[in-house]
Amino acid sequence: MLNRISVYMAAAMLVACAAVSGAQGLADVARAEEARRKSVKAPSKTYTNDDLKGDNNGATVASPTPSTASPASATPAPTPAAGSKPAPTAAKPDAPKDAAKDPEPKKDEKYWRDRITAAEQALARNKVLVDALQSRVNALNTDFVNTDDPAQRAVVEQNRKTALAEMDRVKKDIDTRSKEITAIQDEARKANVPPGWLR
């Protein structure tokens, strides 16, 4: 009988100790939670039904949290004080007005000799080219006459038309180059350029 009583007493003491230690554990948790709440500076965002709006398929779209707000919208731009002048902006240096224009070349002997030489060489090339085109046109005329196959004659005729068009273009360029040479000579004469500079 005494053994049973001692067992009950021991069990009761264990339950009491557990209750006391549990109460102390809950008190510690409550103190830690209170300290944590005091350390939080800004209250967390609380969402309501107004924040959540239905989408087309019943999906909800939440408004952005304060952490996703852009820094620019969070801090307003500083406004200048009353009566103060705004900060001057860096002025761009003005480009010289004559910078866009090319400088006038020095019209010495080399200048005139280079101009007339370039024009004369272009004229000479065009004259050689027009002679070669004339020979091609003559050969295509012969081929056209001697060809019986209609398909081959069509190809020859197309080539002949192309050569004639190119020859016409080169002849126009020859006329332009001839006028250019005459203009250079007239300009040199008005500028009192020695005739030897154009040879």
Alpha helices by DSSP H, listed for 40-149, are 71-74, 109-146
When divided into structural domains, the chain yields a total of 2
Residue 55 lies in a domain: no
Q: What pLDDT was estimated at residue 25?
A: 65
Confidence of residue 38 (pLDDT cuts 50, 70, 90): confident
Same domain, 193 and 113: yes
Per-residue pLDDT of 49-81, as tens digits, reads 777 665 444 444 444 444 444 444 444 555 555
Q: What pLDDT was estimated at residue 167?
A: 92
How far apart (Å, rounded) are the C-alpha atoms in residues 20 and 49?
44
- Mean pLDDT: which of 9-23, 92-106, 175-189 is highest? 175-189
Residue 46 lies in a domain: no
Residue 129 lies in a domain: yes
**109-118 average pLDDT score:** 88
Contacts of 143 (CB under 8 A, 6+ apart): 156
Residue 127 lies in a domain: yes
Residue 96 lies in a domain: no
Residue 194 lies in a domain: yes
Q: Which residue has the higher pLDDT, 47 or 30?
A: 30
How far apart (Å, rounded) are the C-alpha atoms in residues 72 and 77?
8
Per-residue pLDDT of 140-186, as tens digits, reads 999 988 988 999 999 999 999 999 999 999 999 999 999 999 999 89
Residue 199 in tokens: 């040879």
If residue 28 lies in a helix (H) or strand (E), which one and from where to where? Answer: helix 2-39
Residue 155 lies in a domain: yes
Q: What pLDDT was estimated at residue 72?
A: 46
Residue 63 lies in a domain: no
Q: What pLDDT was estimated at residue 54?
A: 55
Domain that holds residue 14: 1-37
